[in-house]
Amino acid sequence: MILVLVDHDRGELDPLSLRALTAARKLGQDVEAVVIGKEAGALAGIVGEYGAKVLHVASHANITDYTPMASGRALKDLVEKLKPAAVLAAGTPRGNEQLAHLAAFLDLPMAAECSEITLGSPHHVLRARWAGNLIESANVHADLLIATVLAFSTEPESANGGAATVAEFEPSLQPADYAVKVLSRDAGESKGGVTLTDAKVIVSGGRGVGGPDGFGQIEELAALLGGTVGCSRVVTSSGWRPHAEQVGQTGTKVAPDLYIAAGISGAMQHIAGMKNSKTIVVINTDPEAPILGYADYAIIGDLHQVIPALTSAIRQAKG
Amino acid sequence: MDVLVCLKRVPLAGGTLILTPDSRDIETKHLGFGISPHEENAVEAGVQLVEQMGGTLTLLTLGPSDAEEQLRSQLAIGATRAVLLETDGQEWDPQGTAGALVDAINAEETKFDLIIFGAESADSAGYQIHIRVAHALNRPIITNVKSMKVENGVAVCDRVVATGREHYEVALPAIITVRDGLNIPRYPSVPGRMQARKKPVDMKKAEARVPKLEKVNLALAPSKSKGAEILGKGVEGVDALVEVLKKIGTF
Amino acid sequence: MSKLPAKAKCVVIGAGIVGNGMVYHLAKLGWTDIVQIDKGPLPNPGGSTGHASNFIFPVDHSKEMTAITAESMRQYKEFGTFTETGGIEVARTQERMQELARRITSGKSWGIDGGQILTPAEVKKLVPYIDETVIVGGYYQPTVGVVDSLRTGTIMREKAQEMGALQSFANIEVQDITVENGEVKAVVTDQGTIEAEYVVIATGCWSPKLAAMAGAHIPLTPAVHQMKDIGPVPFFKDTKGDIEWPIVRDMDVFMYERQHGTGLEIGSYAHRPILYTPEDLPSNATAALSPTEFAFTQADFDIQDEHAYELMPSIVGDENVREKYAINGILSYTPDGMPILGETPEVKNLWSVAAVWIKEGPGTAKSVAEWMVLGDSHIDLHASNIARFHEHHKEEKHIKSRVAESFNKTYGIVHPNEQYESNRKVRLSPYYDREAGLGAVFYETAGWERPFWYECNKDLVAKFGDKVMPRAAEWESRWWSPIINAEHLQMRETAGIVDLTAFAYFDITGPSALAVVQKAALRQMDVAIGRVVYTPVLGPNGGFKSDLTIMRLDTDHFRVVTGGAHGMADKKWFADLVPSDGSATINDITSDYTTLGVWGPNARAIVQAVTSEDMSHEAFKFSTCREIDIKGVKVLASRISYVGDLGWEFYVPMADGPALWDALWEAGKSHGLIPVGIGVYGTTGRLEKCYRAYGPELETEYTVVEAGMQTPKLKEADFVGKEAHVKHRAEKPVAMLCTLFVDDHTSSTGVKRYMMGNEPILTVDKKAITDAHGRRSYVTSAGSAPSLGKHILMSYLPTDLAVAGNKFIVEYLGEHYPCSVAEVGSTPVFDPSNERILG
């Protein structure tokens, strides 16, 4: 049996977990899912549709929001009880963190960001390194495989399954396990609307935008397309935009339907964060900019002329 | 307050990576070395804490003897001393690395109030060493921190997520991993460099452990590089782009 | 981007400052159909131009370098990309102060004026942020400036395009350069093949790799120059533009500091030599920054940090002024420090324009373009000629060891006679052990170890006393010995044996052999078999390309004997004149033959003692040669003299050398024969006889008439440069080469000083002298004339000033010494009627 940690934010499913479930199914064993936090029990339907027979729900008075070490403890309890062949999660900051706690509790190896998993003795994985530019072939020497699934490496496929059976359990938490947890939240830097990870359309600006003022036209275009604004590292380093908008290896990795990169030359670490986008459009004055190698379409020109023209053309087309 | 920052010597790749002939490592003969981007923020955070509150900042790394170069650079921006756990240059798996760090931390006379890691290494991206160290030292850990302040023995941290910010608090001693954006790391000054040459770097031999996550080899990820279709020059390309957006269903 | 053309007249590979200069100047000289390619993107393809510090100090001790730099500055100014900032070279030692005075002196010789010595306080006035207590003074050159080399390159490329002469292509990787029958044929790239009549390699530190594709050699190595940019500097916060403050060169620690916007760039030539090979350089795609910007290695810069701190504590010592950017930048270095220019000796129409720095780029490009299109350049480029290299110079070991040795001399005080220590004993004459046993002090020429003087002769110094003209000052006694002058005087009394193995020799044979040498030589070569002819070799403009000796050994067999240093360039010059129909062949026998010379009043007696041949004046006339037998060794004997005394040069195969030496040595014992070094042969003996040397006196910019070397009758046969020469003969010469004596050697401190060459000749009121062609008067050669008790200076003087007895001033290390013209033209100041030679 493969146990998949399905991640959620206060009950709201992380869609990348569906990819992890799909990847788990491909290992040819029964799949069961686990969520941490009682409020996620409602995910039994979707988790079942994606092939999990059982949804284990870790429920505990001290798990009221994201509590990563408690997640690790809950997983440990479940692993000891169910003896799965592997525990998987999505290769997100949260997925990686919670499985790392499990691995630390059990003193077992963990393979993060795997694009391919073969169970065996030893287990074998292909995992992403160097911002996805390298693929490591690695053996994992342990009975239980603990691995996260590289974001966007597997397309989510429904198994058309019925709702999973919900099995609630109370993990044997110790005070240290919930010493660190989310105490409060605010909308912070995010503008409330669409977030980078959810956005279907991202319009990103780089050094070529020239300064904070230049982002006005980027925002306008993004809003027109129902998307959100992203940027490159130099933009946040220069203080032109908040860090939450940074796309890349050190920012957020995204894979929207449409990614428009304006005035971004394409440092490796930026490419790492956006290359999985479905369609990539580049607006750049330099026809030799590295990002063109990853683009589907490009306009060679100054974004300060192209973007306003594009915005009005889209307005016109929309009528 | 005594702070420890763990860091890792990594090649500074800026272009296409190439592999060594045995495909075990990336070819570094054209490359310089530095530390991971998040780790620069970690050192900066440590320097700021010691500037504000007094105390010491110790750097700890596991790597080849050449990693002294990276330690000296970070000593130059204000760290107090450094410890280098010297390997034969081979890459260690996360469990081995964490174990060596834990042994070294336990061997230190200083009981660090705060241990800071970068959120991930630029090269191996295993996402676990800091957590293993926290478990071994029985310390709480907050990861992916983008803002932090320490008051009255408590670290108050924010983590940025898709929907906004999450607030955390933890009593010291604790472990925190930080992300790019936490602060603006300073670069060394010449006087800093000169002082750094005189600061102590303890070199200790580290014994390799049998890797449980065993690297077989590396391969270059297939480059997407599909070759962009040029829609036009300047505003001449706009109409064609609008057609593309219609075709892919953007609106 | 349009497709690469299949054909072009000329393909220029490289789009740095040099490649762009080449396309512009070739187009300007009328070439059309030029194709330029570069493996990187435009306008900055990633070579050394892209990270250059871009400042120009106009003065160099080399006339050639200074001329090229001056021409480059002229062009940068024309393109509006030059900002004059002034520059100061500061000294931390008195030794450096003397060197700075020498630099000002060189500047005056080459026409770069305005240099002045400053006190520390005066330096501080110009550069308020230095600590003047660490320096003892400085040299201020107001004409120093900074250029925008990338912009200049773009302008030049665009101008060539506007002329309709050029197509440029970026991101084209050269895979091969094909050659057919020794001529370049095509450039094969990843985007197609371009057939070309000419190919120019302007690829900086990649040049060796490209040359090798065609089977040619460009012996240079990529080497690291470290640079660190710190800032923002509060003192610079109000500066406008890129640069406002003078460039500072901290010469004694081999560093420079220049303000750049609000930052301070600190560069160094003090670190250990860090050398690469072109294969080590990453591609544009794999490079972290650019292919020629490697990661900075701080450990190599630790000491430089401290030195910069010492000089500019208020900036460098500011904790808040931080490193913004630091690189190990890759530059091209050559084993002798000079650029590598010209058509490769291996492949016709394949040209090298390599190891050229920003300060030389546009001027070099113009000169090489002239050379390609017009057959010669206006500026003499002989020291940069790619044909100068001997085979061993092209070996990796030589390149690396010499560059490693000379790297730290980039800002060093390099004595004009300073010898390299590395990669020595590459070529040894057959007498090497005998010479070493006699205490020979070896200098190197073309890899050969040549005795410069012999310590075994040191007793002669006492014998001749003050006649050896002893030198009290350290500078001119460095790399010198009074033994040289003692050997000279003894040779004039008895005889000396001189090892001349370093000569280069090549035979020209075949039905067209006469035509080939006639074409090359100014003098008549259709002479009797057995005649020896000393002749200038001229370039198309009638200036000098060489001077050498040609023996006619048979109707269709000539042997050219020339100096080792310039021998390979001479060989190429002659080889280029050999027709392709096979009617003449050229055969280099340099490594097979050795030469010994014996000269002096007793030379005939010594030689006669070892041969049955009649060596009398009547039987063996001056300027003739023939084979004789010396103790069973067949020897080609040639009765000529470069030292002013009776004697012969003897040429034998290497293996016979020791027997020849031993025979002459044995016979010489009873005739006072001493070993004599090159110090006599190359300087004292030569100068007393007013013999001109190629390089110092004889060069492209002066004519045969000005050198005082025209023949009474012009030969009928055609020769290279004849047309120009005929014109020169008809005109009044603008300048004349004169021999001067120094009238008083006493310096302000009472020490007698002796000039070494390259010093300016000034009027008695200390004004620089410029002739009607804009050429400065300077000392072409200087040295002792022990037989006359004089120190000789040779200099071209404007014709109206070239009058025997006329008084002048020579400036040496910042002081002035009276001198006067002893002789105008080539009449020797010692034994003017050549009685000793013809005796």
d(CA C227, CA B228): 37
Q: Could you tell me whether strands C263-268 and C221-231 are parallel, antiparallel, or unpaired per DSSP bridges?
A: antiparallel
Domains of chain C listed by start with CATH number: 7-189+221-333 (3.30.9.10), 418-502+592-683 (3.30.1360.120), 504-588 (3.30.70.1400), 732-836 (2.40.30.110)
What is the pTM (predicted TM-score) of this model? 0.87
Q: Is A106 on the interface with B (CB under 8 A)?
A: no
> Residue B235's closest chain A neighbor by CA?
A306
d(CA C521, CA C503): 19
Chain B and chain C share a number of CB contacts under 8 A equal to 76
Domains of chain B listed by start with CATH number: 2-224 (3.40.50.620)
What are C177's strand-pairing partners?
A: C187
Residue carrying structure tokens 């593309």: B244
d(CA C810, CA A315): 82
Residue of B32, B42, B61 whose CA lies nearest to B175: B42
Residue carrying structure tokens 């001067």: C740
> Residue B161's closest chain A neighbor by CA?
A244
Pull the structure tokens for residue A220: 């306008």
Task: Using the predicted structure, report yes or no on whether residue C89 has a pLDDT greater than 90.
Answer: yes
Q: What is the 3-state secondary structure (H, E, C) of C189-255?
A: ECCEEEEEEEEEECCHHHHHHHHHHCCCCCCCEEEEEEEEEEECCHHHCCCCCCCCCCEEEEHHHCE
Residues across chain C: 839
User: What pLDDT is attached to residue C746?
Assistant: 97
Tell me the three state secondary structure of residue C560.
strand
Pull the structure tokens for residue C483: 């033994």
CB-based contact C676:C487 (threshold 8 Å): yes
Point out the residue among B15, B33, B72 whose CB comes nearest to the CB of C287: B15
Residues in contact with B113: Cβ distance below 8 Å, sequence separation at least 6, in sequence order: B1, B2, B3, B55, B153, B172, B173
Confidence of residue C1 (pLDDT cuts 50, 70, 90): very low
Residues across chain B: 251
Whole-number Cα distances in Å, C821 to A141, C686, C736, C807: 93, 18, 11, 7
The per-residue pLDDT for range C558-567, each reduced to its tens digit, is: 999 999 999 9
d(CA C623, CA B198): 73
> Residue A100's closest chain B neighbor by CA?
B128
Ranges of beta strands (E only) in C576-707 are 585-588, 593-599, 625-630, 633-638, 647-653, 673-675
Average pLDDT score over residue span C197-221: 97
Average pLDDT score over residue span C222-243: 91
Chain B residues close to C308, C-beta within 8 Å? 190
- Shortest CA gap A54–chain C (Å): 49
Peptide bond into C43 cis (omega under 30): yes
Residue of C461, C437, C91 whose CA lies nearest to C248: C91
Q: Where in chain A is the domain with CATH 3.40.50.620?
A: 2-178
The per-residue pLDDT for range C60-85, each reduced to its tens digit, is: 999 999 999 999 999 999 999 999 99
The per-residue pLDDT for range B148-200, each reduced to its tens digit, is: 999 999 999 999 877 778 999 999 999 999 988 788 888 899 999 999 999 99
The per-residue pLDDT for range C288-306, each reduced to its tens digit, is: 778 999 989 999 999 999 9
CB-based contact C33:C190 (threshold 8 Å): no
CB-based contact B148:B165 (threshold 8 Å): no
Answer yes or no: do C170 and A286 touch at CB < 8 A.
no
DSSP type of residue C218? -
The per-residue pLDDT for range B52-109, each reduced to its tens digit, is: 999 999 999 999 999 999 999 999 999 999 999 999 888 999 999 999 999 999 999 9
Chain A and chain B share a number of CB contacts under 8 A equal to 262
> Residue B139's closest chain A neighbor by CA?
A176
User: What pLDDT is attached to residue B14?
Assistant: 67
Residue carrying structure tokens 């009797």: C528
Answer yes or no: do B69 and C299 touch at CB < 8 A.
yes
Q: Is C171 on the interface with A (CB under 8 A)?
A: yes
Whole-number Cα distances in Å, A267 to A212, A232, A233, A303: 20, 9, 9, 18
Point out the residue among B13, B188, B192 whose CB comes nearest to the CB of C288: B13
Q: Is B191 on the interface with A (CB under 8 A)?
A: no
Q: Which secondary-structure segment (H or E) carries C222?
A: strand C221-231
Answer yes or no: do B32 and C294 touch at CB < 8 A.
yes
Phi, psi of C128 (to 5 degrees): -65, -20
Task: Please report how the helices C63-78 and C361-374 are oriented relative to each other, as an axis angle in degrees rounded to 10.
Answer: 100
User: What pLDDT is attached to residue B224?
Assistant: 61
Answer yes or no: do C280 and B29 touch at CB < 8 A.
yes
Residue of A103, A147, A88, A143 whose CA lies nearest to A121: A143
d(CA C163, CA C32): 8
Superfamily of A2-178 according to CATH: HUPs (3.40.50.620)
Pull the structure tokens for residue C164: 């309709």
Residues in contact with B99: Cβ distance below 8 Å, sequence separation at least 6, in sequence order: B132, B136, B209
Q: Which secondary-structure segment (H or E) carries A224?
A: helix A215-224
d(CA B14, CA B35): 14
d(CA C522, CA C438): 40
Chain A residues close to C170, C-beta within 8 Å? 288
Average pLDDT score over residue span B4-25: 89
Task: Using the predicted structure, report yes or no on whether residue B251 has a pLDDT greater than 90.
Answer: no
Point out the residue among C230, C288, C308 whose CB comes nearest to the CB of B15: C288
Distance, C-alpha C779 to centroid of its chain: 16
Residue of C191, C214, C192 whose CA lies nearest to C203: C214
Pull the structure tokens for residue C195: 């057939």
Percent of chain C with pLDDT over 70: 100
Letter for the amino acid at C477? Answer: S
Letter for the amino acid at C751? Answer: V
Task: Using the predicted structure, report yes or no on whether residue A193 has a pLDDT greater than 60.
Answer: no
Task: Please report how the helices B238-247 and A303-318 are oriented relative to each other, as an axis angle in degrees rounded to 10.
Answer: 50
Tell me the three state secondary structure of residue C688.
helix
The per-residue pLDDT for range C382-411, each reduced to its tens digit, is: 999 999 999 999 999 999 999 999 998 889
d(CA C472, CA A195): 84
**What are the helix and strand counts (H, E) for chain B?**
6, 13
d(CA C683, CA C134): 40
Task: Using the predicted structure, report yes or no on whether residue A192 has a pLDDT greater than 90.
Answer: no
Peptide bond into A122 cis (omega under 30): yes
- Shortest CA gap B245–chain C (Å): 26
Q: Which secondary-structure segment (H or E) carries C67?
A: helix C63-78
What are C560's strand-pairing partners?
A: C506, C550
Task: Please report how the helices B94-107 and B129-137 are oriented relative to each other, as an axis angle in degrees rounded to 10.
Answer: 40
Task: Using the predicted structure, report yes or no on whether residue C46 has a pLDDT greater than 50.
Answer: yes
d(CA A12, CA C755): 91
Q: Where in chain A is the domain with CATH 3.40.50.1220?
A: 201-318
The per-residue pLDDT for range C90-110, each reduced to its tens digit, is: 999 999 999 999 999 999 999
ipTM of the complex: 0.92
What does CATH list as the number for A201-318? 3.40.50.1220
Chain C residues close to A286, C-beta within 8 Å? 41
Average pLDDT value for chain C: 96
Average pLDDT score over residue span C119-145: 97
Of B7 and B30, the structure prediction assigns the larger pLDDT to: B7
Residues in contact with B52: Cβ distance below 8 Å, sequence separation at least 6, in sequence order: none
- If phi > 0 it is left, if psi is from -120 to 50 it is alpha, else beta; for residue B176 that is beta
Residues in contact with C614: Cβ distance below 8 Å, sequence separation at least 6, in sequence order: C620
CA within 13 Å, CB half, B143: 23
Instruction: Name every residue in B having a CB less than 8 A away from some CB of C.
Output: 12-18, 29-33, 69, 72-73, 186-194, 197
DSSP codes, C293-307: EEEP-GGGGHHHHHH
DSSP codes, C391-454: GGGGSHHHHHHHHHHHGGGTTS---TTPPP-SS--SB--TTHHHHHHTTEEEEEETTEEEEEEE
Q: Could you tell me whether strands C166-169 and C87-91 are parallel, antiparallel, or unpaired per DSSP bridges?
A: unpaired
Pull the structure tokens for residue A235: 């933009």
Confidence of residue C115 (pLDDT cuts 50, 70, 90): very high
Q: Is C41 on the interface with A (CB under 8 A)?
A: yes
d(CA B35, CA B62): 12
d(CA B42, CA C273): 35
d(CA C385, CA C64): 11
Percent of chain B with pLDDT over 70: 97
